[in-house]
Structure 1
Amino acid sequence: MRSLPIPFLLASLLLLGCSEPEIAVSTQPDDTVQLADPAHNSRNALDWDGRYEGMLPCADCEGIKTRLTLQQDGQFMLETQYLGKSDDWFHEQGAFQWDSSGQIVKLERERSGPAQFFVGENVLWQLDMSGQRIQGELAERYQLIKVPPAELAQAPLAGTRWQLVELMGQAVPADSPAYIVFSGTEPKVYGNAGCNRFFGSYALVSEQQRLSLSGIGMTMMACPESPIEPGFAEVLQRFDNFNLSDDSLTLNRARMAPLARLTAAGPADE
């Protein structure tokens, strides 16, 4: 058997030693199998949190108008309207999980079962039940486009400093520091509960007057006992809808009496 020249063997070994396996990272679902780089995937390389909108295909209606908000704390808000069947908006909230590749999110929905989306750059692609991209003539319609943060400022609550004036039916002293601000540039909320500052995210469905907070954190300053803070902090966790009339905002739960009443105290300092 002929042996290869030693210089040729050395050159071959050098080439093999210098080459590295190529890792493909995609921002769009593909029919080919790809290796996900754990250090550079949709979850940690994209600005994925925010609200996505679109019109998804429907088997027995004109289309499903869809809004999906993904939050950094792993919570989602899904709003759907079945055109041609009802003018009502259906509202679902819950947790979502990332798959092991960091490319796909799975919504855990109690009413209609789980749903999966491939996370691309400013787009979500709805996947079928097996986690594959939907094929066929309508394939390109199974996507939701991210709403630019600046457009979220359409909320009538945003950009105003809302001062707490009534809590559980009782008037709040005029010098109380308790207030709340809904950001107009991103779905963030912050304020003062009576002594300690709080911060988190909010989700809004204007048509149904629904509003909820999530991921609320609070400072832990040693403050004098405040009769307002415990009650206001509880309201921030319990309320699920609001009413807005002129300069007055109420935070409510179901059809109960308002849990808290606030008044516009000027523009927010963002």
Structure 2
Amino acid sequence: MKFLYTHITSLLFVILMASCMSKPTTPPSSPNDITGKTWKLTELNGRPITLKNPKSNPHFSLHMKDMRYEGNGSCNGIGGTFEIKPEIMRIKFNQGMSTMIACEDLETEQLFLKALLTADNYTVNGNTLSLNKAKMAPLAKFVWQK
């Protein structure tokens, strides 16, 4: 009986040690997690965007490590800081910086930047992100592609 008890105790000890040495797993991100992804603009003020240069689609990414956003308005690089409360889907983009290159799609770029700076909340539906102001219609819609 003592022999069986010793083996069971040894086995439990080995299992415990193995579980302690395994790598920790990171919890899966929430479907509403909008950070660490590149969001491409598809719609502004309820209208699909039309670009003179379709290769320069406006986009942005949020980086939690330094609480910064970065992207491109269509021809100018943009960046700044942001604040986010994902549990209540609130967001605030702070005035940042932008390069100053003239381009064909400058009007779209200006509306895109205005939407970012005006937004105070967001919604996520599948791979679509909407930036909103209060409970009004979305200011801008984006799509994330894997």
Quote the residue 1:221 is aligned against.
Answer: 101
Asked which structure has the greater CA Rg, the reply is 1
2:119 is matched with 239
Where 2:82 maps in the other structure, the secondary structure is strand
- What is residue 161 of structure 1 aligned with on the other side? 38
Matched, 1:194 2:70: no
Q: 1:205, 1:223 → 2: CA distance?
A: 35
Q: Which residue of 1 aligns with 2:85?
A: 205
Higher helix share: 2
C-alpha deviation, 1:172, in angstroms = 1.5
* Secondary structure, counterpart of 1:236 in structure 2: helix
Q: Deviations over 1:125-165 (max 9, x none)?
A: xxxxxxxxxxxxxxxxxxxxxxxxxxxx9881111110000
Between the aligned partners of 1:264 and 1:225, the Cα distance in structure 2 is 22
**Alpha-carbon distance in 1 for matches of 2:64, 2:105:** 33
Q: Flag as ranges the 4+ runs of structure 1 deviating above 3 A.
A: none
Mapped to 2, the partners of 1:251 and 1:262 lie a distance apart of 8
SS in 1 for 2:65: coil
1:163/1:251 CA distance change after superposition, 3 Å: same
Aligned residues: 114
Instruction: Determine helix, strand or coil for the equivalent of 2:94.
Output: strand
How far apart, in 2, do the equivalents of 1:167 and 1:156 lie?
Answer: 22
Whichever structure has more strand as a proportion of its residues is 1
The Cα shift of 1:252 comes to 0.1
Unpaired segments of 5 or more residues in structure 2? 1-28
**Between the two proteins, what is the percent identity of the paired residues?**
28
Cα distance in 2, alignment partners of residues 257 and 225 from structure 1 = 24
Alpha-carbon offset, residue 237 of structure 1: 1.3
- Give the direction of change, closer, same or farther, for the CA distance of 1:240–1:233 in structure 2 (3 Å limit): same
The equivalent position to 2:47 in structure 1, one of 170, 181, 206, is 170
1:137 is matched with which residue?
A: none
| Matched residue SS, 2:145 | strand
How large is the RMSD of aligned CA atoms in angstroms? 2.0
Q: Which residue of 1 aligns with 2:15?
A: none
Q: Which amino acid aligns with 2:40?
A: Q
Q: Residues 40-79 of structure 1: matches in 2 within 5 Å?
A: none
TM-score (norm 2): 0.71
Q: Give the C-alpha shift of residue 225 in structure 1.
A: 4.6
Q: 1:249 aligns with which of 129, 133, 143?
A: 129
Distance 1:220 1:236 in 2: 18
Counterpart code for 1:222: A
**What is the TM-score normalised by the length of structure 1?**
0.39
Q: How does 1:109-128 map to 2 (within 5 A)?
A: none
Higher relative contact order (CA 8 A, sep 6+): 2
CA shift, 1:226, in A, is 2.9
Q: Is 2:138 the counterpart of 1:261?
A: no
The letter for the 2-side match of 1:164 is L
